[in-house]
């Protein structure tokens, strides 16, 4: 069971890439978003399933490692990027802008992202990325509304 949680939390080993593992996790999540984007129900259900599984697996890996939000855990970036692109047109501009915004917000953790990250276990690991994704989506929605 330990190995299964590790596989999920690291998104089948992407978390072990020695540099920018969160970016690689986000790119993999974006690839799945692109595949599912035209199927709203599948898109939302995939996010919900990944988020719940992420809370459990990330929490287990954190507990076993003894490290708060270990860098090998990338299920949070993988799952939460779905929220960044919900109801966003997948043009090259929005995909690139959204991806960069999501990564910047996740890395720099503006308020309240940093305080959410302090929650215990898998909740803190997953929720800070969810807030970053919500901010990203809000910014993209503002850009979309001004471009009409």
Cα–Cα separations (whole angstroms), residue 132 to 46, 61, 64, 135 = 19, 22, 26, 5
Task: Tell me the pLDDT band of 1, cut-offs 50, 70 and 90.
Answer: confident
| 12 and 72 Cβ atoms separated by less than 8 Å | no
Q: What is the pLDDT of residues 4-52, one digit of tens each?
A: 999 999 999 999 999 999 999 999 999 999 999 999 999 999 999 999 9
Could you give the angle at the alpha carbon of 23 between the alpha carbons of 19 and 84, nearest 5°?
165
Task: Tell me the pLDDT band of 113, cut-offs 50, 70 and 90.
Answer: confident
Q: Where are the domains of the chain?
A: 2-146
């Amino acid at each position: 069971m330990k190995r299964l949680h590790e596989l999920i939390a690291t998104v089948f080993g992407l978390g072990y890439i020695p540099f920018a593992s969160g970016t690689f996790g986000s790119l993999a999540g974006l690839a799945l978003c692109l595949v599912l984007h035209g199927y709203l129900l599948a898109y939302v259900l995939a996010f919900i399933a990944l988020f719940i599984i992420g809370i459990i697996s990330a929490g287990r890996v954190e507990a076993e490692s003894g490290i708060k939000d270990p860098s090998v855990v990338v299920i949070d970036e993988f799952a939460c990027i779905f929220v960044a692109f919900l109801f966003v047109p997948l043009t090259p501009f929005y995909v690139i802008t959204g991806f960069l915004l999501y990564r910047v917000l996740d890395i720099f953790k503006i308020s309240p992202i940093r305080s959410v990250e302090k929650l215990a276990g898998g909740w803190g690991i997953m929720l800070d990325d969810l807030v970053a994704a919500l901010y990203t989506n809000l910014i993209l929605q503002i850009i979309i509304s001004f471009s009409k």
